Amino acid sequence: MIKENMQEMKKKVLFMCICKSCPSWIECKEKGGFCFPTIGKSKCIKKENGCICGNCPVTKEMGLKHGYYCTRGSEKEQSS
């Protein structure tokens, strides 16, 4: 994917993201979108207190299969 497309996709992911309503969410200066490869894991969330990734529109639209992207990494990382 070219750089411009990655930036547009990242914006779309952040717009659709529901991370802030997750029981594992920790308020710090992050925006969420941890499933997106260029965002990566959370630097704040260390404890898994429940996961709503399966209900996220990003998960459905992109056909993602994993969860806890905030602590375990992107789909690509978890599939390796």
Give the tens place of pLDDT for each residue, 26-42.
999 999 999 999 999 99
- Tokens representing 64 are 């993602």
User: Residue 54: what are its φ and ψ, rounded to 5°?
Assistant: -65, -20
pLDDT in tens, 8-18: 999 999 999 99
Mean pLDDT of 69-77: 94
What gap in Å lies between CA 6 and CA 43, rounded to an integer? 22
Percentage of the chain with pLDDT > 90?
89
pLDDT in tens, 44-55: 999 999 999 999
pLDDT at 1 over 90: no
Residue at token pair 């992207």? 69
